[in-house]
Structure 1
């Protein structure tokens, strides 16, 4: 049979463990919630930046939207050298 002091000590440790576990779980949930909020904010910021860039691109004249590259060979302003450099740069980006 356990002594009364031993029982008090056991129950005290049990109570302390439960309280510590509750506090620790709350801190973990809080950190997770803050992390999720940060990730969501960064995702929204990325979308806003992308929308701003697309809006700025839409304000450009149609012939400058692709960096001034005309891909239609029947167009009088068609420049084969610019077009080939543009295609080569695109291939280099896709391989990297």
Structure 2
């Protein structure tokens, strides 16, 4: 059978190998998680920038779109909007 010292060396070697493997594997998993967190943060910032661009474009479009002239004015209609009527009237006065 095997000598007792050979068995002990094998056990201690397996223990040392397991500790080194566990340490390196843990370090690689941590670095992967850090990389994934960075990518997720980057994509979140990209999404926020795109949303801000869309909101800015919408705001600029609203500012540059001329007020449509009201052709038929029916004051008795329940859908009549007095503010739009006044805004249209002021726009006509400026031109």
TM-score for the superposition, normalised by structure 1: 0.64
Which of 34, 48, 53 in structure 2 is aligned with 1:48?
53
Aligned to 1:26: 31
Report the Cα distance in structure 1 between the residues aligned to 2:44 and 2:80, rounded to whole angstroms.
Answer: 40
For residues 22 and 11 of structure 1, what CA distance do their matches in structure 2 show?
17
Which structure is higher in RCO with an 8 Å CA cutoff and minimum separation 6? 2
Instruction: Output the CA distance in 1 between the equivalents of 2:74 and 2:52.
Output: 35
Give unpaired runs (5+ residues) of structure 2.
1-6, 82-95
Runs of 4+ more than 2 Å apart: 76-80
1:77/1:41 Cα in 2 relative to 1: closer, same or farther (>3 Å)? farther
Tell me how far apart the structure 2 counterparts of residues 82 and 17 of structure 1 sit (CA, whole Å): 75
Partner of 1:81: 79
- RMSD over aligned Cα atoms: 2.7
C-alpha distance in structure 2 between counterparts of 1:24 and 1:17, whole Å: 11
Count of residues in Structure 1 that have an aligned counterpart in Structure 2: 73
Q: Alpha-carbon deviations, 1:35-55, whole Å to 9, x = none?
A: 110011000100000000100
Larger Rg: 2
Q: Normalising by the residue count of structure 2, what TM-score does the alignment of the two structures yield?
A: 0.65
Q: How far is 1:4 from its partner?
A: 1.2
